Amino acid sequence: MKPRVILSFILVAGIIIISGCGGENRELKKDAKHIAGAMCKNIEAMKNLRLADPADSMLIQKLQMEYEQVEAEMTTLNEAFRKKWEKKAATEQFKNDFRKYLSEAMLDCKSLSKEDRESFEKGLK
């Protein structure tokens, strides 16, 4: 009877440890996806600004405002991310996991240039 109790305890502890690690990675993956979304918006806003007719001052002004809003969103996301992960961010494993999740999420961005897409694909390896 005693070996069963010990084995059950080990199994339960193992499940809790594994699910706890997976939860952290899910949370990190979610945060990376939010940051990637903001980065994609930033790329798109810059692209729209570059392609706009310089003579159309109203459009340029509107696009500059959109770009500034995206920049503010990115700043807010980065600050929240740093505060949330500051203790773990120094580890090499964390950096590698975050880089992988960010690269994976950025591949969904339709505004990526061919070179940027290739760079993010390399980040997955």
Q: How is 44-82 classified by DSSP, letter by letter?
A: HHHHHHHHS-TT-HHHHHHHHHHHHHHHHHHHHHHHHHH
State how far the Cα of 104 lies from the Cα of 33, in Å rounded to an integer. 8
- Structural domain includes residue 4: no
- Structural domain includes residue 12: no
Residue showing tokens 């990675």:
25
Per-residue pLDDT band at 64 (split at 50, 70, 90): very high
- Structural domain includes residue 97: yes
Per the prediction, the chain carries an average pLDDT of 84
Q: Which domain holds residue 38?
A: 25-123
Report the pLDDT value the prediction gives residue 10, as an integer from 0 to 100: 55
Per-residue pLDDT band at 60 (split at 50, 70, 90): very high
- Structural domain includes residue 54: yes
- Structural domain includes residue 10: no
The CA radius of gyration of the chain, in Å to the nearest whole number, is 21
Domain count, the chain: 1
